[in-house]
Amino acid sequence: MTMPLRCLARTAAAGLVAVAALATAGHTAEAEAADTLGSAAAGQGRYFGAAVAANHLGEADYAATLDREFTSATPENEMKWDATEPSRGTFTFAAADRVVDHARSRGMDVRGHTLVWHSQLPSWVGTLGAADLRTAMNAHINGLMGHYKGEIHSWDVVNEAFQDGGSGARRSSPFQDRLGDGFIEEAFRTARAADPAAKLCYNDYNTDGVNAKSNAVYAMVKDFKSRGVPIDCVGFQSHFNSASPVPADYRQNLQRFADLGVDVQITELDIEGSGSAQAANYTKVVDACLAVDRCTGITVWGVTDKYSWRSGGTPLLFDGDYRKKPAYDAVLTALGGSGDPGGPGDPGDPTVSCTAAYTRTADWSSGYNGQVTITAGDTPISSWSATVTVPSPQSVSSLWNGTPAWTGNVMTVRPSWNGTLAAGASTSFGFTVAKNGSGAAPTVGGCTAS
């Protein structure tokens, strides 16, 4: 829905707060048992959040997992500039409202993500001259923060304004290129006036350890604090994989920022991998946050592997069927919680597992056939799933002995008739791919079994 700015006051705030209070009481009761991420984190004085996509809230398992486990929600894309002000002065809040209303009616806090970012920026912003751009940036901040005034615990005011690599320089963007370094300060000052109760954060990636980029952010925050520029927190995205592992000096880096007098938050955590190695990395992150008094909360970047932006790397705490992974158990334990040993995916359950092995069984000029063999581990399984990432511009024209579900170019395949496998037994599914000019191999992701 598209509405002119002047119509946008959210008049239902009082009602939302009343419902939120009731739902918060539910979280308090859970805190005694500390058998969810949110309740265990609350026992440590922290929130535990997830990035949430409005279009998945209608999926019962997605909403149930979110509502049971998490105490904070970050709209994954719905508050970005292209979603909220696609044309100048016309604000569209319907999708973001769905996330905010869902979260707040269940007692969750909401992180606002994000006000000023070079990406997911509608093209009209890049056409403006300096004076006009400054006006537009401030109007965008005021429009968005005004709409959600009093409902957001922390805002990512500026996102990813520093370049990767060794220079510590600012990243080129319409804001940087036309307004210079001062755009960040101006955005924070405008944000403070727009919603004085919200914590104002600078958020970035590859700043998780001590390095040239984090040094540059550190220098900016130090400067802001010394000059009274309003900044309350720094967000560390923490997207990790084997090429970008959890840094050994993660805690030390969080601590040096906290020592500047700001909160630190882990804002977009995901760690590619599986099993005990992934679990051990999650433990490192939670331990680092708990060791820093001003690390006020952790947000994982999604609820389930199947909807992750890196779904092929299975980087989250719940698998595609919403089962708790070893990483979940590790986080819960690190937070001081204790799982229900009888629950699915908890320690003590027999370890169900499977492997997925890919082969190309036929190849011709315009296409090929792929086959994935699923083999059960040491325990019988009743179901499995595996991901196949199909390189662009290829497309899958048919699939047999499996049921596909698509997210972008990632195909998650589950059994059609062949879910049940004895220990060590195998089944396979096959598919035909139209090359569309590329013969590259697909990537077959981890197998999950139940």
| Binding status of residue 304 toward ligand 9MR by CB under 6 A | no
Site size for ligand 9MR (CB under 6 A) = 8
Minimum CB distance to ligand 9MR, residue 259 (Å): 25
DSSP structural state of residue 305: G
Minimum CB distance to ligand 9MR, residue 313 (Å): 12
Among 2, 119, 172, 398, binds ligand 9MR (CB under 6 A): 119
**Residues with catalytic annotation?**
160, 268
| Binding status of residue 76 toward ligand 9MR by CB under 6 A | yes
Nearer to ligand 9MR by Cβ, of 31 and 141: the residue is: 141
HSE of 98, CA atoms in CB hemisphere, 13 A: 16
Residue 9, φ and ψ in degrees, nearest 5:
-60, 135
Give burial (CB, 10 Å; 0-12/13-18/19+) of 418.
middle
| Binding status of residue 299 toward ligand 9MR by CB under 6 A | no
In what helix (H) or strand (E) does residue 302 lie, and over which residues does it extend? none
Nearer to ligand 9MR by Cβ, of 316 and 374: the residue is: 316
| Binding status of residue 109 toward ligand 9MR by CB under 6 A | no
Among 36, 176, 237, 448, binds ligand 9MR (CB under 6 A): 237
Name the H helices within 234-274: 250-258
| Binding status of residue 309 toward ligand 9MR by CB under 6 A | yes
CA 117 → CA 78, 82, 109, 113, 175, distances in Å?
14, 10, 22, 10, 9
Is-contact 104 67, C-beta < 8 A? no
| Binding status of residue 77 toward ligand 9MR by CB under 6 A | yes
Give me the residue whose beta carbon is nearest to ligand 9MR: 309
Among 2, 87, 120, 172, binds ligand 9MR (CB under 6 A): 120
Which residue in 145, 149, 92, 152 sits closest to 122, CA to CA?
Answer: 92
Minimum CB distance to ligand 9MR, residue 111 (Å): 11
Minimum CB distance to ligand 9MR, residue 136 (Å): 20
**Tokens coding 344:** 């699915």
Minimum CB distance to ligand 9MR, residue 381 (Å): 31
Name the H helices within 35-181: 37-43, 60-69, 81-84, 94-105, 123-126, 130-147, 174-179
Which residues bind to ligand 9MR, rule: CB under 6 A? 76-77, 119-120, 205, 237, 268, 309
